[in-house]
Amino acid sequence: MIKKIILISGDPNSINSEIIFKSWKKIEPAIKEQIYLITNFKLINEQFNKLNYKIKTIKVANIDETFKGNELKILNVDIKYKHPFKISKKNVSKFIEKSFNLAHKLANFKHVSGIVNCPINKELLNQKNPGITEYLASKCNIKNNSEAMLIYNKKLSVSPITTHVEIKNISKKIKKNKIEVKVKTIDKWFKKIKKRKPRIAMLGLNPHNAELKKNSEEIKIIIPAIKKLRKLGVNIKGPYIADTIFIKDYKNFDVIIGMYHDQVLAPFKALFKFDAINITLGLKYLRTSPDHGVARNIVGKNKADPNSLISCLKFLNKKSNEIF
């Protein structure tokens, strides 16, 4: 039995139907055979029609059967709507929750490679889980903070210790143990995929690493965590100063780990644009997503770039190793 890829359509008030269509047109037949799209059958077809996209779809009841051909296989999830691109926040929230619950259930099957979710508006999530990384970690009953968000590119990857946290709360969320378990998760995954120890750089939190003052997070938390990880055999250096490492020193590393979301994602996207995928490590299964948002400002304008979604699908396709 071929491995299945679970694709979640995500936020319908977005460019997602556009990138799904464009990806479907570009990927090879072997990958198409693996994909099962979780969405509303009627809605996605209406969106395709609105965009003047011609694509064959088929509603399926489960992923146990293998369907060959050029039809996009759809696992139906109910949603109430009047306009296909203007759906209420309440109805979209329910739709996304149902979609992820179904995907989580299916992803635990051995014949599933993992989940790819198209972008969603984070406001649609339950406040207890400010991002998909946190939501799926809670679904997998992970309580030790070992899950990690990795933004992956062949040349460089970045990862934030805290994810969707307001700036004023970041220092409260940085803990020595949290740094250690997340770095070990990333190190383990790279060794499994690359067959070697990754070269890891750890950033400090404060400008100029707070000049390494005695009461700084660098002295109290970050440096002790680095020392502990090095004793465990992790190839990690730091703390580096965040405002200079992305000039040229980043080329000496496989992964740069920062203390918060924009500290590493902003310079990473300045370097690589959207040539990357978002991978959640440490779950019971692999989850990936395109490294961009819902882009409501270009819905219906045929301007969306599908390459990040295509990379996600190739990443989960067992027969393709080109992303590495």
Indicate the pairing of strand 4-8 with strand 72-76: unpaired
User: Averaged over 308-317, what is the pLDDT?
Assistant: 92
Q: What percentage of the chain exceeds 70 in pLDDT?
A: 96
Beta-carbon contacts of residue 135 (< 8 Å; ≥ 6 apart): 100, 125, 126, 129
pLDDT at 321: 44
- 149 beta partners: 280
Dist CA 318 CA 184 (whole Å): 25
| Residue 32 tokens, joined | 């198409």
Confidence of residue 164 (pLDDT cuts 50, 70, 90): confident
pLDDT at position 318 over 80: no
pLDDT at position 320 over 60: no
pLDDT in tens, 34-87: 999 999 999 999 999 999 999 999 999 999 877 777 899 999 999 999 999 999
| DSSP letter, residue 3 | P
* Averaged pLDDT of the chain: 90
List Cα–Cα distances, 70 to 3, 6, 33, 58, in angstroms. 17, 17, 8, 10
Please name the residue that has the structure tokens 């990138």. Answer: 19
- Write out the H or E segment, with its range, that includes residue 236: strand 236-240
Identify the structural domains of the chain with CATH numbers, from first to last: 1-142+283-324 (3.40.718.10), 147-273 (3.40.718.10)
Dist CA 111 CA 101 (whole Å): 18
pLDDT at 136: 83
Tell me, what amino acid is at 112? Answer: V
pLDDT in tens, 19-32: 999 999 999 998 99
pLDDT at 126: 63
User: Averaged over 281-285, what is the pLDDT?
Assistant: 88
Beta-carbon contacts of residue 273 (< 8 Å; ≥ 6 apart): none
Contact 185, 281 (CB under 8 A): yes
Dist CA 237 CA 201 (whole Å): 5
Please report the DSSP string for 162-231 in residue order.
Answer: S-S--GGGHHHH--HHHHHHHHHHHHHHHHHHHSS---EEEE-SSGGGGGG-TTSHIIIIIHHHHHHHHH
For residues 295 and 264, the model is more confident at 264
Dist CA 139 CA 307 (whole Å): 29
Dist CA 188 CA 56 (whole Å): 41
Dist CA 317 CA 33 (whole Å): 10
pLDDT in tens, 233-274: 999 999 999 999 999 999 999 999 999 999 999 999 999 987
Q: What 3-state class would DSSP assign to 121?
A: coil
Highest mean pLDDT (candidates 98-112, 123-137, 309-323): 98-112
Dist CA 90 CA 80 (whole Å): 10
Dist CA 78 CA 99 (whole Å): 9
Whose CA is closest to 119, among 18, 42, 201? 18
Indicate the pairing of strand 148-152 with strand 157-160: antiparallel
Predicted model pTM:
0.88
User: Averaged over 275-301, what is the pLDDT?
Assistant: 89
Contact 30, 319 (CB under 8 A): yes
pLDDT at 301: 87
